[in-house]
């Protein structure tokens, strides 16, 4: 069952990241399944209702005013899954469907993470303190480097790559409608050089690389370049923030040694961590046709905020033994045609790192500190070590 430290630390992380917006979102959670908030939009707090909105791509779209398209089209261009709808979206989605198969992502993580995970395991088993936040930055940087086609094997370069993505994503808050021209320019200064590298990997056509696979799957150079940028922005930080919070929740709830002793529980623990932490706390849609949502009438041009965090936390505190109801079903990664295409890669990466950490159990938390100025709530430092026998 959940314990006080779990609730206290998760709330602390959200308040550090979003000191003004988070308390408002939690107040809105008590206002019913849907509520219109002047100056904000129509807020959705119910998982079943959120799923209905996400599955109705004709009425609620990602490419209108107040949608993700407003945020990311100036940075990534018009042809990435983040900002597309209709036939163009379906066509690109079909091309990408076989990119991150579970078998391929497991093999990719084994290849890319073997050496850094071996070093992590050695440090833990020697009883040395490990900052899991820093370790995840290196590991996530290594994977995204491979995806884009960077030829780097240096941990400092991996950290730098991660920090570049973090700087771009941190320009977005829960209240952001669109990036300013100066923010777009800063983001392009980060992404354009990475896009050039991705384009070279695409041109080389090596099907052992992700960019080469995109070419083989029929993506155009522009589509592949946009996809690489989207993976860089949306996948890196999601995975890097997940594992420290997984270990923290298991530790604080007294479940860490149970999962360490029974590896079959790891996927359940990861899914429950994703529900509680909700890596996408808010999802945006633009209304394109009149409709009624949870008793609230919406009109074309209205902005809809699906508060995924409220939808997911309504099902209670962290509990490995409570099954997820059907309406959740990985809602934090979207639903229907917009379900996150990088989900298998994110899970393979998190699974590989979590296994390595759990093999060192029992584990003690040496110190931790919440991060400020980030979009996805996370720890700034999270130092662990193997507990003394």
- Give me the pLDDT at residue 231, please: 85
- Give me the pLDDT at residue 98, please: 87
- Give me the pLDDT at residue 71, please: 76
- Give me the pLDDT at residue 174, please: 67
Given a contact cutoff of 8 angstroms between Cβ atoms, the answer to whether 201 and 148 are in contact is: yes
- Give me the pLDDT at residue 91, please: 86
- Give me the pLDDT at residue 85, please: 76
Domains of the chain: 4-386 (1.10.630.10)
Q: pLDDT below 50 — which residues of the chain?
A: 1-3
- Give me the pLDDT at residue 255, please: 96
- Give me the pLDDT at residue 4, please: 63
pLDDT tens sequence across 44-66:
999 999 999 999 989 998 887 77
Spacing of C-alpha 251 from chain mean position: 22
- Give me the pLDDT at residue 256, please: 96
The angle at the Cα of 318, spanning 43 to 54, to the nearest 5 degrees, equals 30
- Give me the pLDDT at residue 2, please: 44
């Amino acid at each position: 069952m959940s314990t006080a430290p779990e609730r206290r630390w998760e709330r602390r992380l959200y308040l550090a990241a979003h000191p003004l917006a988070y308390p408002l979102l939690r107040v809105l959670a008590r206002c019913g399944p849907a509520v219109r908030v002047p100056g904000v939009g129509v807020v959705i707090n119910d998982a079943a209702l959120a799923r209905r909105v996400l599955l109705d791509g004709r009425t609620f779209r990602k490419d209108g005013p107040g949608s993700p398209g407003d945020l990311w089209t100036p940075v990534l261009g018009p042809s990435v899954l983040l900002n597309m709808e209709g036939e163009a979206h379906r066509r690109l989605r079909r091309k990408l469907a076989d990119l991150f198969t579970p078998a391929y992502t497991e093999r990719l993580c084994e290849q890319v993470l073997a050496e850094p995970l071996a070093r992590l395991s050695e440090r833990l088993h020697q009883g040395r303190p490990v900052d899991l936040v820093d370790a995840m930055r290196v590991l996530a940087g290594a994977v995204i480097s491979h995806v884009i086609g960077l030829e780097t094997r240096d941990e400092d370069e991996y950290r730098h790559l991660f920090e570049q993505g973090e700087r771009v994503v941190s320009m977005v808050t829960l209240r952001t409608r669109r990036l300013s021209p100066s923010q777009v320019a800063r983001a392009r200064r980060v992404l354009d050089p990475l896009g050039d590298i991705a384009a070279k990997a695409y041109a080389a056509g090596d099907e052992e690389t992700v960019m080469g696979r995109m070419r083989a799957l029929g993506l155009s150079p522009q589509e592949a370049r946009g996809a690489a940028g989207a993976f860089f922005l949306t996948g890196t930080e999601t995975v890097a923030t997940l594992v420290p919070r997984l270990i923290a929740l298991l530790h604080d709830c007294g479940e860490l040694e149970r999962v360490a002793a029974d590896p079959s529980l790891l996927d359940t623990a990861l899914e429950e961590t994703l529900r509680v932490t909700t890596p996408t706390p808010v999802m945006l849609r633009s209304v394109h046709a009149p409709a009624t949502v949870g008793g609230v009438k919406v009109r074309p041009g209205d902005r809809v905020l699906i508060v995924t965090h409220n939808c997911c936390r309504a099902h209670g505190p962290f509990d490995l033994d409570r099954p997820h109801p059907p309406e959740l079903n990985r809602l934090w990664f979207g639903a229907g045609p917009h379900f996150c295409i990088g989900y298998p890669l994110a899970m393979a990466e998190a699974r590989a790192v979590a296994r390595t950490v759990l093999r060192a159990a029992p584990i003690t938390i040496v110190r931790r500190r919440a991060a400020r100025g980030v979009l996805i709530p996370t720890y700034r430092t999270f130092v662990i070590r193997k507990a003394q026998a």
